[in-house]
Chains A and B, each alone.
Chain A
Amino acid sequence: MTLAASDESGSDNLQQHWLHCMAAVAGQRDKASFMQIYDYFAPRLNSYLHGLGASPALAEELVQESLLSLWRKAHQFNPDKAALSTWLFRIARNLFIDAMRRQPNWLLSELDMEEEIDPHSPSGDSHADGLKVQQAIQQLPMMQAQVVYKSYFEAKSHSEIAEELQIPLGSVKSSLRLAFQKLRVFLGQAEGNPPHGYPDTSSKGEPS
């Protein structure tokens, strides 16, 4: 299973480009820069929301709401704490969950998450190496890739995944745990992790 397109060339340039766009949106309320963000992310957010099970109409509505939120909160965006894609992911996910579950807002908001991070450690994904993340994703064993895919793109629970893949619940958890432990090495090392980013003592060590 391919989780994502393999073309990662120029990913760092793209990150830089978004920073310029966001600065222009926040500073000058620049609509042209905003629409560059729209043109790149709107069709991808649309895919994401469809995958989660939103109807076409709801997906379109939430795409607009997500990007409108970015427009209005642009001054709060801090590139040292999260990449633009992370910020948008949080916004869209939270809007989707609010829309589907009609629950009170118990998820930490995207802003709350960022405020809390230890200022002494490089954190979030601002230092993530997109190419390495992508390579690591492509090297995941099939089972781990499937479990990651079903978690992120279908928002399935561990039990639902276990049932669909006909594997024990414990295997779903260990597959997801192992995949994350491999990927988090490249997702902005924080907490003073050792260079290989291996799990700290509270994680369950398992052979991959």
Chain B
Amino acid sequence: MKTPIRRQNPLALQPNHHPDDATLVSYAAGGLATALSITVACHLAICPRCRQRVSEADALGGHLLSHLPQQSLSAEHRQAMLDALDKPAADEPAAGHRASTAIASKETSAEADDLLPAPLQHLLGERFSDLKWSTLGPGMKQVKMHVGNSNLRLFKIAPGTCMPLHSHGGSELTLVLRGSYSDEIGRFCPGDVADLDPEVEHQPIADRDQDCICLIATDAPLRFRGIVPRLLQPFFGL
């Protein structure tokens, strides 16, 4: 199967690979580790299909909420509520990704291509070109972030490099930001998410035309200690 190379601004892409419904439901329920939620949010920003799913999962939340047993509040709480209605609202801070959407629309497409997805800009700054990469091994660089009790990292893999994937154990989501890779499941282009069950094994290879940049979130920080040696396995023939 030959897929045409896509080079548009990621914001214009329609993804082919989506998070599992279980992941979208947990996003809606508030149960995903922060790193995974951020990754899902980056995907939702460009995926109407998944926004729809999350809307449905929110609706389930609303349904469940309206059928919960009541836990009553005091008369004082009720009075305080009434009193609060007359107070003027403090100014609402603008939502981060709205602000940056506005930025994006003003820029040239080359500049827009350099922008990180809005949910990442809080953590990493605005631009790919400003990222501080550290070398992880031949053909592989990373930027690591700790968010709450979970790990988020950007991987940059040189064209044609085998990406040793370290699934197994915790939950893991991979979102392609630039370039592409292929594995037994298919070809993953910008906006696509790999959300594999832990028992699934695969061998992704970065496609040959350009660096592949992925966002990888995992909720099992302890298992990460072993990752560097395992990542290097292919290079040392272990």
Contacts and interface: CB of A to CB of B under 8 A. Distances in A.
Nearest to B95: A109
Contact of B58 (A4, A42, A50, A113): A113
Interface in B75-105: 77-78, 80-82, 84-85, 89, 93, 95-98
B129 interface: no
Given A46-B71, A105-B96, A151 B81 contact: no
A56 B69 CA distance: 16
B4 to A, nearest CB: 20
A46 B21 contact: no
Interface residues of B, number: 73
Contacts of A46: 70-73
B70 A86 contact: no
CB-CB nearest 4 A-B residue pairs: A125-B59, A4-B67, A86-B62, A85-B62
Interface of A: 3-5, 8, 31, 34-35, 38-48, 50, 52, 60, 63-64, 67-68, 71-72, 82-90, 92-93, 96-97, 101, 103-109, 112-114, 116-118, 121, 123-125, 128, 130, 133-134, 137, 148, 150-160, 168-170, 172-177, 180-181, 183-184, 187-188, 190-191, 199, 202-204
26 contacts: A5-B67, A44-B66, A63-B73, A64-B77, A64-B80, A64-B84, A83-B59, A88-B62, A89-B61, A93-B28, A93-B29, A112-B97, A112-B98, A125-B56, A128-B59, A151-B29, A152-B60, A155-B29, A157-B26, A157-B33, A157-B219, A159-B219, A173-B20, A173-B197, A176-B22, A177-B21
Interface of B: 16-18, 20-23, 25-26, 28-34, 36-38, 41, 44-45, 48-49, 51-73, 77-78, 80-82, 84-85, 89, 93, 95-98, 119, 122-123, 147-148, 169-171, 197-199, 219-220
